[in-house]
Amino acid sequence: MPTNTKIEKALKLIREMGMVRPRDLAAHGIPPEYLRRLHARGLLDQPARGLYRAADTETTANSSLAEVAKRVPGGVICLLSALRFHEFTTQSPADVWIGIRSGARVPALGRQFVRVIRYSKESLVVGCDTRQIEGVSVSVTNPGKTVADCFKYRNKIGLDVAIEALRECRRLRLATPSQIADYAKVNRVFNVMRPYLEVLA
């Protein structure tokens, strides 16, 4: 395949995927060298080591979530990052919080600030939705699961943050008490959450 055709194909794929790693294009027969050439020509940005996107991509407040999700396949955006994504917190985390399967290797993420949380196999799947962020498919805990997670990991984020998350989730009607209770049972924190759920019922 002529070089120009490969460059055009690479740019097309990058625009379709939103953000790529060299291995994403290698699967389509395009060597990593093409990414470096396009970056050198100013056609690609490199938001993090090993990640590329089209230079004219409009970035959002959730860009860092897409970047981390792309570099941690199988991970799920959770806790403070999920609260911010769903817009029901006053917290503005500097780190990206991502859940991975218990026992999975933590990937090297270079200069990115990431907080890794270990999830059981069931907890990593239940209550997780796939959202599109700048063309990247990102797994994010839904509002009800996020609240239950906040109570499960209250020692890491603070009980006050968990209570605020529950209050705001109910005020904005992002999840019903029964939905939150179901996720609390999956997380084995229903007894901890019961008094707070009863107050807000």
For 168-184, what is each residue's pLDDT tens digit? 999 999 999 999 999 99
**CA atoms within a 13 Å half-sphere pointing along the CA-CB vector of 190:** 11
Does residue 112 surpass a pLDDT of 50?
A: yes
Q: Where are the alpha helices (DSSP H) in 158-200?
A: 159-171, 177-186, 190-200
192 and 106 share one domain: yes
Same domain, 195 and 162: yes
Q: What is the tens place of the pLDDT at every residue in 131-142?
A: 999 889 999 999
What pLDDT score does 36 carry?
87
Residues of the domain holding 124: 63-200
* pLDDT confidence tier of residue 37, bands split at 50, 70 and 90: confident
For the four alpha carbons of 185, 187, 192 and 194, in that order, the dihedral sign comes to negative
The answer to whether residues 128 and 82 touch, using CB atoms and an 8 Å cutoff, is: no
> Does residue 11 sit in the same domain as residue 99?
no
Q: Mean pLDDT across the stretch 152-156?
A: 96
| Chain mean pLDDT for the chain | 89
Query: Is residue 76 scored above 50 in pLDDT?
Result: yes
The CATH number of the domain holding residue 177 is 3.30.460
Number of structural domains in the chain: 2
Confidence of residue 4 (pLDDT cuts 50, 70, 90): low
Say yes or no: 124 and 195 in one domain: yes
